[in-house]
Structure 1
Amino acid sequence: MKRLHPMLAAALLYGSLIGGIAMAQSSSSSQSSASSVNGSSSYSGQITGNGITQYGLDTRPQQQLTVKLNTDNANTRMDVVKDGSADPLCQAATAPNICSFRTEPGASYRVQVYLTREAAQRGESARFTLTVEQGS
């Protein structure tokens, strides 16, 4: 298992050199880790309060991706966003724990994990695991 340290330039460079690894950036203190097995990648972390953790997805054109969120806090949400777009591909309100989509050529995607506003105001925290499954 590889440890990811959010916001470190060295980690960002390392992740861009290795296919299949997403990088985490967080506005709160969090720990993240990543693993990859048989076309499926798994990312684990923890968020607290208003923190948001983002994972950039390493994709190929016309690839089917399914992102699943498992968490110990029902108030945890995820959005999958195409860079340059204001609207998420899959919004938390519609499908809070799963997002499936086909990638576009030249596009970059990221996953944002966060707590609902009410949970953040109560200072809640959440441990989570994201699983990214690659299809054809």
Structure 2
Amino acid sequence: MNKIAPFLTCLLLASASAWAADPVRHEQLELAQGAPLKKLSGKLKGYGTVEYRLAVPAGGALDLKLKSANRSTNFNVSADGADEALFVGSRDGDHFAMAAPAGAVYKVSVYLMRNAARRNEQAAYVLEANVSAPAAAR
């Protein structure tokens, strides 16, 4: 029995990283200033996440709105490389708007909250993305 315990411990530790890995789908998107509204649609299941990288041109204003029938669907927005989110959907709601500094890239993560992910729920969503000219230039 003493020889089996270390083997089982090693096996458990080796498989832990596979259990911890959540499926993340990455998508790159460039929004032209003044271009028509983009509707990004997708589906989530369980702990799955869709991560959009949005390149916003200098001086543009970024506007995002999430629509889903599942109330546990949320999104976060963070600047590329930042440790903290600028916007946390579970706290801040389903609409995000801000003026972007020169040549900013933002990461938008769409996900199910833990309560729904634990139950392996599914959710279809539409993320409306728009980049407009700054208010002073209108």
Q: 2:43 aligns with which of 46, 52, 59?
A: 46
**Please, what is the CA RMSD of the aligned residues?**
2.2
Answer yes or no: is 1:69 the counterpart of 2:66.
yes
| Larger relative contact order (CA 8 Å, sep ≥ 6) | 2
Q: More helix per residue: 1 or 2? A: 2
Unaligned stretches of 5+ in structure 2?
1-24, 134-138
Q: Does 1:20 align with 2:17?
A: no
Q: Tell me, which stretches of 5 or more residues in structure 1 are unaligned?
A: 1-5, 22-36
Aligned partners of 1:43 and 1:64: how far apart in 2?
18
For the pair shown, the structure with the greater C-alpha radius of gyration is: 2
Q: Structure 1 counterpart of 2:42, which letter?
A: G
The one of 79, 85, 89 equivalent to 2:86 is 89
Count the aligned residue pairs: 108
Cα distance in 2 for partners of 1:93, 1:120 equals 14
Please give the secondary structure, in 2, of the residue aligned with 1:119: helix
**TM superposition score normalised by structure 1:** 0.71
Give me the identity figure in percent. 27
Q: Residue 26 of structure 1 corresponds to which residue in structure 2?
A: none
Q: Deviations over 1:51-89 (max 9, x none)?
A: 010111131012111100000100001001111111111
The residue matched to 1:93 in structure 2 has which SS? helix
What is the one-letter code of the residue matched to 2:49?
I
